[in-house]
Amino acid sequence: MGGFTFNITDIAAMMNAKDLVTKKLVQLIKENPKVCYINSDGTGQKGAVRDLYNQYPDRVLDVGIAEMNLVTVAAGLARKGYIPFGQTFGPFLCVRALDQIHNDLAYNDLPVRLIGTHGGLSSGYGPTHNTIVEFGVMNAIPNMTMIAPSDGEQCAKMLEASLSWHGPIYIRIPRGEEPAVYNADYEYVIGKAITVKEGNDVTIIATGTGVYNSLRAALLLQEEGLSVGVIDMHTIKPIDRDAILQAARKTGTLVSVEDHNILGGLGSIIADVLVEAGVPARLKKIGINDEFISFGYPEEIYPYYGFDGPGIAKTVRAFCG
């Protein structure tokens, strides 16, 4: 863990996770004849995915607006030895098609990779198009792996790593352009958290887009003399218990950051780990406070709910004060 640089926040390159995921998948489909891709009316009129849809009619599919079918078709392909990636709007995968995820992916234990886009509050289209439940839901399903990459490049690394991972994976990515967290190469391992900044007073354990904003908060607080560590908990399940316990022993004060309901999410999972291990630590959970969020675009919604750098800094400051 640690040992590489993270971006100076003001000049972080913006990355579109969805575009990078698509680019990586196009590469995987071309390179690996066992990789399949299934979309739900997301193939597009033209572009690389449409070209592959035309080129590989039995390996690059679009089921139309039918997410339940998407999940089980992917399971069928996996049962025949393929590695299917299924991608569509997160809420319609993890809520609408949950029966299929539970039974056909997890219970049948097949290596399907679902990519739920518009994760967290990133859609900008209100509660029907946001997802604040998948960490808790996937955590409670046996055999599932749940991943929320922190930036676009990490998505690409994670997709590569997923090829050899046993069992089904749910991958949550945001909708639009997000800043890059990392500007140096590093080894990505599913289930192994990354310490992106060391700190002695408090440790923020963040996931997804929360990692970048937690770094910004840490830099703001550093100017005030507070030493804040930041951990990128990109894998929600299986959770990296060692990373959590090590941070708890080091700083004794933890803050979780997730654009997810604080009930059942990353913060709850961290609390489980601490209590079961009997390691005492203070914990503040930053997330959605068990409510359906307001309408509004992500650039306004994230600051409104205190998920931007200054918002996270404010909460951490108050908790440590």
Partner 1 sequence: MTKIRLETVPELIEKAGEIRKYLCRCARYAGNVHLAGPLSATDVAVALYYKYLQFDPADLENPERNMFVLSKGHNGVLLYCMFCDMGLHPWDELYENYNKIGHSFGAHPNRKYVHGVEVSTGSLGHGLSWCIGFAHANRNEGINSRIYCLLGDGELEEGSNWEAIMYAASHNLSNIVAIVDNNQCSASFMAGENIKWNSMADCWRAFGWDVREIDGANMYEIDRTLANLPPVNLKNPGKPVCIIANTIKGQGVSFMMERPYAWHICGLDDEKLAETEALIDLYTAEQKKRA
Q: Where do contacts with partner 1 occur on this chain (CB under 8 A)?
A: 36, 56-59, 61, 63-64, 66, 68-69, 71-82, 84, 99-100, 102-104, 107-109
User: Do 239 and 269 touch, CB atoms closer than 8 A?
Assistant: yes
Q: How far is the CB of 109 from partner 1 (least distance, A)?
A: 7
Q: How far is the CB of 129 from partner 1 (least distance, A)?
A: 20
Whose Cβ is closer to partner 1: residue 152's or residue 168's?
A: 168
- 3-state DSSP percent of the chain in helix, strand and coil, to 5: 40, 20, 40
Whose Cβ is closer to partner 1: residue 108's or residue 227's?
A: 108
User: Per the structure block, which two tokens stand in for 145?
Assistant: 């792996």
Q: How far is the CB of 47 from partner 1 (least distance, A)?
A: 21
Whose Cβ is closer to partner 1: residue 163's or residue 277's?
A: 163
CA distance linking residue 97 with residue 133, whole number of Å = 13
CA distance linking residue 122 with residue 128, whole number of Å = 12
Instruction: Give the DSSP H or E segment for 270.
Output: helix 266-277
E-assigned strands of 262-312? 282-288
Whose Cβ is closer to partner 1: residue 67's or residue 134's?
A: 67
Q: Any long-range contacts for 289-295 (C-beta under 8 Å, 24+ apart)?
A: 289/262, 290/261, 290/262, 290/263, 292/127, 293/121, 293/126, 293/127, 293/130, 293/132, 294/126, 295/124, 295/125, 295/126
Whose Cβ is closer to partner 1: residue 81's or residue 278's?
A: 81
Q: How far is the CB of 83 from partner 1 (least distance, A)?
A: 12
Q: How far is the CB of 136 from partner 1 (least distance, A)?
A: 21
Q: How far is the CB of 33 from partner 1 (least distance, A)?
A: 9
Q: How far is the CB of 170 from partner 1 (least distance, A)?
A: 18
Q: Count CA within 13 A, CB hemisphere, residue 291.
A: 7
CA distance linking residue 168 with residue 108, whole number of Å = 9
Whose Cβ is closer to partner 1: residue 82's or residue 307's?
A: 82
Q: Residue 114: which of 124, 102, 130, 123 has the closest Cα?
A: 102
Question: Which parts of 45-149 fold into alpha helices (H)?
Answer: 48-55, 67-79, 90-91, 98-100, 134-139
Q: How far is the CB of 103 from partner 1 (least distance, A)?
A: 5
Angle of the 266-277 helix axis to the 241-251 helix axis, nearest 10: 70
Whose Cβ is closer to partner 1: residue 61's or residue 133's?
A: 61
Whose Cβ is closer to partner 1: residue 68's or residue 196's?
A: 68
End-to-end CA gap in the chain: 28
The single-letter DSSP state of residue 9 is G
